[in-house]
Structure 1
């Protein structure tokens, strides 16, 4: 089979227009490669991170359909940006020459590795396959189907394979569909349904492609081989795959991957389990694969660079060859062929499951957030409510799982204690972990430093001592994964059963159930002080006494159907966007009696995020669901301060401290915005590229902004200067379950910061000196 792409430098000569000097604020350095749709350049961020910047060809920039497709690529890449993909740093799909910047990674593509060194042996093949299956699992969990998985779109990084190029991917809820009469993909790695039913392509198509990729890795050729893409298409649909040369132990699994019927193929999760199980069997021939820590090597410039792996600039180049490129059926002649554009991946920073690069503070966090494109108003309203719900939920929680193991002091000597002082605090970590569970990140809430209450799969609730992590009690098995952390209300610990069916109030001293209520018919369960508020989809609310469970009042339609609700700061707020999203009606409800205190119409489509004693923070979303402004509503005067963001944030989360709002998007850019007044240009106090691409809601306390990353690291940023000043080590679970659908925000109490991680641990560090973490 001809090579899938050029591995040499980008073809020359390029037209002068193909060599722009800048993409946005990034100066473009060397050209890494080119494909049918764009050119990839090396660039650097302001903090020195190496970036791969894809700039589309000038001829495509004038094509409205292509712009829509490129916007879709940007949103898909942001949606899945994490440990197994290319974290998106910045993008501008509306620029004169649309572009997207992702973190650069040192490492060759799988295509280059096979071409240069020959087929992979069985142990290495299993390691690559297991990592690739884990990548697909997280991509699919984010609701995205890649649709063009092939060896040139798999980067072999030091910490495992990375999937790049989401140029033709589709979120499951995307409004952008493949046009009638067009078929897009790379034939040797396309599933039969991509040729027959392109509108119905789902995750199983990526599993088929993964099977073909592993055959290529094992043999140097694909399971369907021809110089003609049309012959390849016929073979994919009608012929059995050629598996000659595939290791015997992998034949049954790859046959299942390459089944013609999508229903007969394994899921990515099943693939990962079978391949990892095989790795253990190969241990006698080689070490079982565990992603190793990256060691920072001091370079000539005093910075740090990745160890293990090649320079790999080709790993983010692109190219195209006849017969194997992206094919559009129905075009003149033999069809237009376009090679897969290169994305980039998480180099230059710390990776999930690896050591942290303190200089860059970057993260290749796992998982994905719900990105979206332009939507009709009803769906748009649903997405805004969902995003707001996650933000509000993340504000309350910080992490649970089964089988509690006692707290253990962290490594390192304790601080010296003076005579007469209380024992010095020593950082600790306790593990809540169920080996059979899928999401091990605990969900916890701190009771002003007196206790830590956590929920988890298999554990309804547990009480931990915040001083040392020791377990006071655990309250039975939950029978599933909790959706929220425990909440303190009416002197009791409230937990919602998995699935949201029942609310239970537990004794904080013993964990015994004091009362319970069926909440399955309610869209929201909110807590405001000692009041529990149960809200239906049509805006009817029922209030319960948090101490006894007795009903206090019921009021019909306190807000418009579908309104967003927020209970915070001793009050309850509602926000209902107008059908055309031109304004939002914000209301305040008294939790004591259900009386509507006031309503205010505020410009834009707004989501309530946080309430303080005197203000309500809301985020404004544009037509593409990017957060374009922060809005501070004075709850006494109803005065509104709207501060536009200099760079709109995707899937933004925020926290307000005084008149400063700290906003972070899925790309990891944390900004401090002053809402006190003055020009919008000067409102942004600072901006920090954290490199964390899947992150919790920020928490501001004691002059720091705290964040939890998807790999379990806790980050501390100086709130005044915008400088990363502290970071804990990653806390993964050995690579089995690295997707966290919800990242709990850290909690701060009594000079301690409490956080949780995917390995099932709850841990505490001292808040006053993050540099010593």
Structure 2
């Protein structure tokens, strides 16, 4: 997107960002091209007349908070948000994505076809998977919101479309966004992520034909066609046409999910057959209880072949299915493929869509402590179930494998331009990245798309996630046996799931009804798989995190980004409080010894010392250090004196390139002491990495 000049009345700067031009203006606000120490960024500021409305500001704050959790691949990553501007207009800052919009490209160069169209479909579907995993419905997917960047397509403007009053644009004029709306958006039906799948299909048809699937005449005509007629798919053909037809189902329950679209595009599990409702598909059937009054141990369920389209055949059980959902604390255990049951959010996960997709962001999903012996976590309740069968044990057993087998050798990472360096401190071992997972027996990486969506345990053997559609469903996957179980939670939980440092407990946050007001947390002990709900009074704006041990959690408390940090035991009792002001906890905030914690720096700290993340003494509250990460990311603690940081973005003014996407170990003053991953691609091909919980 090319920037135009600033207009009279535009400020010279917004916050610390100096404005260089206008990128556009819409119903929500004005988008500016701006300069930051890390390079060019896009700054979107809410219109003045919307900034004074408390409800609009509240929605803006909530949506942007969620949007910051979106995985930064195939999207424009949000890097800063300020909703507490004194007397001013809230704004947010995103990565600047250079390139034409899909609409501009089609208008200039004509429709897409062949491999180029398939790559576009994969990239945009991948973006929707990331957006939906963060609990966001885009609501405005359309060709002008797809940017054709040099490194692949990016979906922009996610998570803030709720600020637009869509009905205000419904007139008799030329069609705009309504041409890409789903039927339920036009008929005031309940909105789910399926509206984005419908809009994705419309966008792909436009890319292939240069026209909207329901025409581009007056809005009343378009609305009638969307509600009552079938789309014009033009010359679209092959598997892409089949997936698109399914995405155009009038019934939102009959549409595939974004992840199912992606898997179909990548040649994996295809979307459900047209006309079949997802609620009756194998995905939901497998998660249902197999007997009345299902409790902790589930009855065996097996898969009996495959159905049309590559889906597993109907599940059979030793007794009829229950008439209702399992009660809280119950567990259903199923073997076989879990890909269709996995769409919850990982902690800040940024991953590629696989080698087939034109996606530049690489994710090293989990780096875990070397030397954690798998046999130390082996269950004594019985043997591990065979693949495709259910487990009746309370916990999947862990095979006795030497710890050294879990540590990969330094060298090139398959399917990437990255090279794994030797860890000088011997503290971490790579478990997974992108579509690859380490085989604990061989120490080699193997393609396993399931890795992307699961929060892996520190030893790498188990994965966990909360469902998008059912927030009371916690899915546990045993990577070795390829079996999984579903635990019913006593309250809806907000992902991602956090494993305790020793890997024996899981922690989830329970959201409240109000913005920034989480009402408690849930702990699941892997010895019994029984969930425990703890209610916390007061205002808890951020999610709960583990303390440095598995016997306590931490969370921020307060409002307006001037928080205190509170420490609780696992009975929900307040142990102590550390007064701020702090701006908010980062992922995995407490150091291994419990002596330090890291938060986002306040605006004052950022402006004065050019810091993004600040390190504090966990007892006195005194600041002990800080780091500038720019458009990169703080990944967590390496040890008590060092933090792991994913790539620096000191922009190269001479070449316009970002630096290589290395992953560093830095001391508390921000000085680099080691490189863990060396990315040899150069240019804008920058990876993102993530680390597992650090051990006590």
In structure 2, distance between residues paired with 1:686 and 1:38: 33
Which residue among 98, 101, 123 is the counterpart of 1:106?
Answer: 98
Give, in angstroms, the shift of residue 212 of structure 1: 0.4
Question: Hey, what does 2:614 align to over in structure 1?
Answer: 671
In structure 1, distance between residues paired with 2:401 and 2:619: 48
SS in 2 for 1:89: strand
Give, in angstroms, the shift of residue 616 of structure 1: 8.2
Which residue among 676, 700, 720 is the counterpart of 2:669?
Answer: 720
- Corresponding position: 1:629 with 2:560: no
Question: Hey, what does 1:758 align to over in structure 2?
Answer: none
Give, in angstroms, the shift of residue 234 of structure 1: 1.4
Q: May I ask how many residue pairs the two structures share in their alignment?
A: 487
In structure 2, distance between residues paired with 1:683 and 1:487: 25
In structure 2, distance between residues paired with 1:229 and 1:485: 50
- Corresponding position: 1:439 with 2:433: no
Rg larger for: 1
SS in 1 for 2:93: strand
Give, in angstroms, the shift of residue 706 of structure 1: 2.6
Question: Hey, what does 2:481 align to over in structure 1?
Answer: 477
In structure 2, distance between residues paired with 1:610 and 1:660: 11
CA RMSD between the two structures: 5.4
In structure 2, distance between residues paired with 1:660 and 1:142: 28
Question: Hey, what does 2:36 align to over in structure 1?
Answer: 45
SS in 2 for 1:97: coil
* Mapping 1:215-234, distance limit 5 Å: 215-234=205-224
Change (3 A) 1:365 1:51: farther
SS in 2 for 1:149: coil
Give, in angstroms, the shift of residue 260 of structure 1: 1.5
- Corresponding position: 1:688 with 2:628: yes
Change (3 A) 1:415 1:475: closer
In structure 1, distance between residues paired with 2:421 and 2:148: 42
* Mapping 1:36-435, distance limit 5 Å: 36-46=27-37, 48-95=38-85, 96-166=88-158, 168-169=160-161, 186-198=177-189, 200-247=190-237, 250-277=240-267, 352-353=351-352, 409-411=409-411, 431-432=438-439, 435=447
Change (3 A) 1:745 1:650: closer
In structure 1, distance between residues paired with 2:262 and 2:637: 33
Give, in angstroms, the shift of residue 237 of structure 1: 0.8
Give, in angstroms, the shift of residue 153 of structure 1: 0.8
Change (3 A) 1:41 1:523: closer
Question: Does the 8 A contact of 1:662 with 1:698 survive in 2?
Answer: no
In structure 1, distance between residues paired with 2:400 and 2:259: 21
In structure 2, distance between residues paired with 1:715 and 1:102: 23
In structure 2, distance between residues paired with 1:428 and 1:94: 40
Question: Does the 8 A contact of 2:590 with 2:596 survive in 1?
Answer: no
Q: Give TM-score scaled by structure 1 length.
A: 0.52
Question: Hey, what does 2:657 align to over in structure 1?
Answer: none
In structure 2, distance between residues paired with 1:425 and 1:612: 21
In structure 2, distance between residues paired with 1:415 and 1:744: 18
Question: Does the 8 A contact of 1:688 with 1:723 survive in 2?
Answer: no
* Mapping 1:646-661, distance limit 5 Å: 647-648=583-584, 653-655=589-591, 659-661=595-597
Give, in angstroms, the shift of residue 13 of structure 1: 8.5
Change (3 A) 1:121 1:81: same
In structure 2, distance between residues paired with 1:633 and 1:266: 41
Question: Does the 8 A contact of 2:505 with 2:523 survive in 1?
Answer: no
Question: Does the 8 A contact of 1:707 with 1:745 survive in 2?
Answer: no
Task: Structure 1: give runs of 5+ residues left out of the alignment.
Answer: 1-6, 171-175, 279-349, 355-361, 368-399, 417-422, 446-452, 459-473, 489-493, 500-521, 538-561, 564-575, 583-603, 733-737, 749-773
In structure 1, distance between residues paired with 2:630 and 2:75: 17
* Higher mean C-alpha deviation, range 215-224 or range 112-121: 112-121
SS in 1 for 2:20: coil
Question: Does the 8 A contact of 1:688 with 1:722 survive in 2?
Answer: no
Give, in angstroms, the shift of residue 248 of structure 1: 5.2
In structure 2, distance between residues paired with 1:27 and 1:139: 29
Question: Hey, what does 1:587 align to over in structure 2?
Answer: none
Question: Could you give the per-residue CA deviations for residues 487-545 of structure 1, whole angstroms, max 9, x where no partner exists?
Answer: 87xxxxx8689x9xxxxxxxxxxxxxxxxxxxxxx964559xxxx799864xxxxxxxx
Question: Hey, what does 2:345 align to over in structure 1?
Answer: none
In structure 2, distance between residues paired with 1:272 and 1:69: 30
In structure 1, distance between residues paired with 2:593 and 2:627: 16
Give, in angstroms, the shift of residue 58 of structure 1: 2.5
- Corresponding position: 1:705 with 2:620: no
Which residue among 510, 533, 536 is the counterpart of 1:577?
Answer: 536
In structure 2, distance between residues paired with 1:260 and 1:276: 25
Change (3 A) 1:45 1:261: same
SS in 1 for 2:99: coil
In structure 1, distance between residues paired with 2:61 and 2:427: 48
Task: Structure 2: give runs of 5+ residues left out of the alignment.
Answer: 269-348, 354-359, 366-397, 413-418, 432-437, 440-444, 465-477, 487-496, 509-520, 570-574, 648-659, 682-686
In structure 1, distance between residues paired with 2:18 and 2:257: 42
Change (3 A) 1:409 1:113: same
Give, in angstroms, the shift of residue 124 of structure 1: 0.8
Higher relative contact order (CA 8 A, sep 6+): 1
In structure 1, distance between residues paired with 2:126 and 2:455: 21
Question: Could you give the per-residue CA deviations for residues 397-422 of structure 1, whole angstroms, max 9, x where no partner exists?
Answer: xxx99999886532399999xxxxxx
Q: Give TM-score scaled by structure 2 length.
A: 0.57
Change (3 A) 1:439 1:84: same
Change (3 A) 1:629 1:138: same
In structure 2, distance between residues paired with 1:424 and 1:618: 28
Change (3 A) 1:643 1:442: closer
In structure 1, distance between residues paired with 2:13 and 2:205: 40
Change (3 A) 1:401 1:208: farther
Give, in angstroms, the shift of residue 716 of structure 1: 1.5
Question: Does the 8 A contact of 1:223 with 1:242 survive in 2?
Answer: yes
In structure 2, distance between residues paired with 1:32 and 1:402: 58
In structure 1, distance between residues paired with 2:500 and 2:623: 36
In structure 2, distance between residues paired with 1:424 and 1:639: 33
SS in 1 for 2:206: helix
Change (3 A) 1:149 1:365: farther
Change (3 A) 1:71 1:651: farther
